[in-house]
Structure 1
Amino acid sequence: MNLPPSGRRVLVSGASRGLGRAVAQTFAANGDRVAVHFGSRVDDARLTLESLAGTGHVLVGGDLTRPNGVAAVVDMASEALGGIDVLVNNAAVNIRHPLAETPYEEWAAVWQQHVAVNLLATANLSHLAARLMIEQGTGGRIVNVGSRGAFRGEPDHPAYAATKAAVHALGQSLAVSLAPYGIAVASIAPGFFATERVAPRLEGPEGESIRQQSPFGGVGSAEEIAGAVLWLSSPAAEWSSGTILDLNGASYLRS
């Protein structure tokens, strides 16, 4: 039930910019057809779509914080592509909320938002996409974008770290339950990497300290992370199902 190395039908959540855009571009360059999901940044998503090599790609908008919104996204992607072979769970929020500085009402709201987008949307997308893959009978791939923060902690972003740890655990559970159907599930745990969103931090006073977190003296690129996602989605990576792949330039080593 292995998938071909290219020509697959790929849904990438949160693909309007940043890592999601790089992932979509990488799959398209590989000869795959991509459903570019966006929440509210439709103009950015159109730029992503226009940047993709090949043909047959599609924009899919939808609110992933609502179960029926998730269902609509999967339905639209599946209908436009003729099915789904690969799901990349990239959509996420990351809002600063250190406990000592954050009022309780804001704290509670931020946690709800992180759980809704980072964890529940990932779980719901995975359920619907995996059921499609099971019905198709040709196997499939699910790759979750987690974080280094799930292991080392994020004092200013505790909800982000906690939900990414849950995403890692979810991926491992699904790897076991979906293996009999030829569906491999893996996660990546990136460290700091450059995108337009974090460019001001890298260019500002803390930039050097961020770069020095890695003994390489720099940060990763979205394209490097996307390349790892592509490999984990490949036929060659089936035996990596259940893995959590660290991509942090040796900035954090776990046993």
Structure 2
Amino acid sequence: MESDGLLSTVVEIVTKASDSAATGMASGAAAIVVDLVRRRLTRSPEGRTALAQVDESPQEPASVDSLRSVLARELEGDDAFRAQLTAAVAGPPPAHQPSSIAHSVVLGSGNKLGRSQISLGPLTINNTRAARTSLLVSAVVLAALLSFVGYMLADTFSSGESADVSNQEICNQATPLRAQVADTDTATYAAHIGEWRNVVDLTMRASDARLARYGRFADQHYRNLGNYYIPLSNIIDYSCGGDASGITDIPAAR
């Protein structure tokens, strides 16, 4: 996809996601695009400002232009980031359709099922109940292993982001949000959920290891919460005043 086309598509996805924050944001490939953009833009003050503007007024031309300008600078000269967005926009490839199915054994090209044997490429297995059960168990174990490896790789890459955000910067970003949502209804929380997610993204990158750990915990458990006052207050109390009472006894967060 050409750079201009990619930029326009990504900006449209992000603005539409911000416009539908009250209904749960984007899903599938669009959610991956939004997550990539938010994680990238929260690294700079200009990016955080652009995200806050588009969250507040996603249909405002000035907000869209600001997001486009900042995102264009991030894409310029960064082939890896461009490739990530291109892949996310394209979505996963279509699932392969098997050639045939017999007795719940999927057969592709070069594979055969006979009355007494199952041939899978160079491998031949006796076609018995025990053999079929063994194949099924092996497939389940392999699927679980691949899923675990994928999760670990994703966690490694996400935790590899630079930890360069000071407690004071997080305090400055989070404090105004608490004043906006305190003693309000769920609609108000939903209207400001983009700002809350910006706070969570910043907290995960805190140079303070304890605060960053709580940021990852908040990302796992509170990112899409309808009322996020308590985790927001915990972040403010610690980043602004050093009060760790709200973030000490949390489960291990990767």
Structure 2 length-normalised TM: 0.26
Greater percentage in strand: 1
Structure 1 length-normalised TM: 0.26
